[in-house]
Structure 1
Amino acid sequence: MSRESYQQQLDELRANVVDMGELVVERLEAALTALQTVDLETAQSIIDGDDEINELYLGLEADCIDLFALQQPVATDLRFIAASFKIITDLERVGDLATNLAAYAQSADQRLGLDIDVDTIGREATEMVERSIDAYEREDIEACRAIAADDDELDALCQRASETVARDLIEREADSDDGWGVEQLLDDVSRLLLTVRDLERVGDHAVNIAARTLYMVETDSELIY
């Protein structure tokens, strides 16, 4: 195979990984909207569409394996293909988390009256994924480090939200003598805590993408954990 053809394969791999990232971000944004508005139709479409993301993942995984096996890449190309291989795994898992959020939307009868800002947490997590994909596409090492730093802020938001949910549960349970009401509240609280946990994991996957990009460009493993 000519060098020109080989380079074209590498370019196509990068473009396809970016396309997968854009689709995952689109699904994540839709899932957050469905969760906030209890849009059952949108939630179901996200759940039904998870197979598409899985198929994209498997196709790109096969492309990476073919490049490893047939081209025997070294140095920069090897790091690029290996990073892409790891990044599509993180993207597939973000797609799974978007499906989780859609499922939570389906199980919610109405928007909850608890004092937490899921929308802000969701936007922060989604923007981190968007920026990580952009950093991969442009090989932007400064953006990679900024994403990792911003994860601390997201973690803090999630921690405060979880504490608020737990405090609200205690207060409402103390004021309630309705067993059924408490049981429903527990269901709602459980769903909210799972939502916050999953959004925190979205941020973690964004950091993973940034970490692999940084290593790809500079063989710097400081963000890999």
Structure 2
Amino acid sequence: MARHEYQAALEELRTDVAALGDDVLAQLDRSLHALEHDETAAANGVIEGDAEINDRYLELEAACIDLIALQQPVASDLRFVVASFKILTDIERIGDLATNLAGYAIGTDGEAIADVTLFEIGAAAHDLVEDALAAYETGDADACHRIAERDDEIDSRCHRASERVVRDLIEQEAGAVDPWEVEAAIDDVSSVLLTIRDLERVADHGVNIAARTLYLTENDPALLY
């Protein structure tokens, strides 16, 4: 492969990884919409679309392996390919979490999950991932530190939301008479807690993307640990 073709292949990889990230963000958007509006059709669309995301992930993973095996990149090019490989994994896992969230939208009473705090957390996690992908696409190292700092606030909001959900359940149990009502409440609370957990994980994967971007642009591993 000629040098100009090799550089074009690297740029194509960056473009394709960013495009997959954009499509996964769209999946996440649809999942959050399905949760907020209790829309089963939208949730099913996300679940059905996960197979295509997985197929594209595997294709891009293979492209990374081919670049390493056939071109034997060194220095910054090697960091770029390896970081892109890692970022792909985070993108695919965000897609899996979007699928989980869609499943919660189908399996949970809409009223149980109708909490503005959850949707604010979801929007914050979505924006963090979006900014991390933009930093990867443009090589913006400065943005990576700001992205990591924003994750601390999301973690705190998730912790507060979980505490409130558990406290509400305890209060419900204390005043409940029908044991079946208690069981139903526990099921709903479990889904809400899983929703909070997965939103937090979405943001964590966004931070991973920022960390790998900082590493590939500046050879700085500060956010990797």
Are positions 1:29 and 2:40 aligned together?
no
Cα separation, 2, equivalents of 1:4 and 1:11: 11
Matches within 5 A, 1:121-132: 121-132=121-132
- Cα shift at 1:88: 0.4
CA RMSD of aligned residues (A): 1.0
Q: Deviation per CA, 1:195-224, whole angstroms, max 9, x where unpaired?
A: 000000001000000000000011111101
- Cα shift at 1:110: 2.5
- Cα shift at 1:108: 1.7
Structure 2 length as normaliser, TM-score?
0.98
Instruction: Give 1:218's aligned amino acid.
Output: E
Give the structure 2 partner of residue 187 of structure 1.
187
The structure where helix makes up a greater share of residues is 2
Structure 1 length as normaliser, TM-score?
0.98
Q: Deviation per CA, 1:14-50, whole angstroms, max 9, x where unpaired?
A: 0000000000000001000001111001111100110
Determine if contact 2:113/2:192 at 8 Å carries over to the other structure. no
Structure 1 runs of 4+ aligned residues shifted over 3 Å read: 113-116
Give the structure 2 partner of residue 172 of structure 1.
172
Give the structure 2 partner of residue 78 of structure 1.
78
Matches within 5 A, 1:12-91: 12-91=12-91
Cα separation, 1, equivalents of 2:204 and 2:195: 14
**Structure 1: stretches of 5+ with no match in the other structure:** none
Aligned length: 225
- Cα shift at 1:109: 2.9
**What is the identity percentage for the equivalent residue pairs of Structure 1 and Structure 2?**
56
Q: Deviation per CA, 1:84-110, whole angstroms, max 9, x where unpaired?
A: 000000000000000000000010232
- Cα shift at 1:186: 0.2
Matches within 5 A, 1:102-113: 102-112=102-112
Query: After alignment, is 114-123 or 93-102 more displaced?
Result: 114-123
